Amino acid sequence: MYLWVKALHIVFVASWFAGLFYLPRLFVNLAMVPADSHAERERLLLMARKLYRFSSLLMLPALALGLWLWLGVGIGRGQGWMHAKLLLVLGVIGYHHVCRSLLRQFEQLANRRSHRWYRVFNEVSVLLFAATVLLVVLKPF
């Protein structure tokens, strides 16, 4: 059972991150849409809404399975790398919710950030993912 839960946890985490990698890319495109291009804006907003909802659904089993591995099986209990990983997980959850806030700003025509800002913001999820994978695989402390 342990290997099934571990495998599913990895699948759901990777899937959740795939959404977090692409959603800010949609924000880059939304920030570049000309003011008079309503159809393009609405199409990108529809894609972003659907992706955010789907990513949110993927987040739930990823977190639940991770909690099962940590609390139920005891993986990483009392180890420093796990404490660091949990901090990163909180950061990813925060990033996910910031994406929701940014999406709402686009929906309300209240975006004030440039496409360049969103390009940098897009890289945050990659850094969080890489740091998490390195901690889990290397267990440096």
- Domain of 117, in residue numbers: 2-138
Half-sphere exposure of 4 (CA within 13 A, CB side): 1
- Please give, one letter per residue, the 3-state secondary structure of 50-67: HHHHHHHHHHHHHHHHHH
**78: its two tokens:** 């009392």
pTM of the shown model: 0.95
**pLDDT band for position 38 (50/70/90)?**
very high
Question: Across the chain, where does the E strand assignment appear?
Answer: none
**133: its two tokens:** 């994978």
Domain total of the chain: 1
Residue range 15-35, pLDDT digits in tens: 999 999 999 999 999 999 998
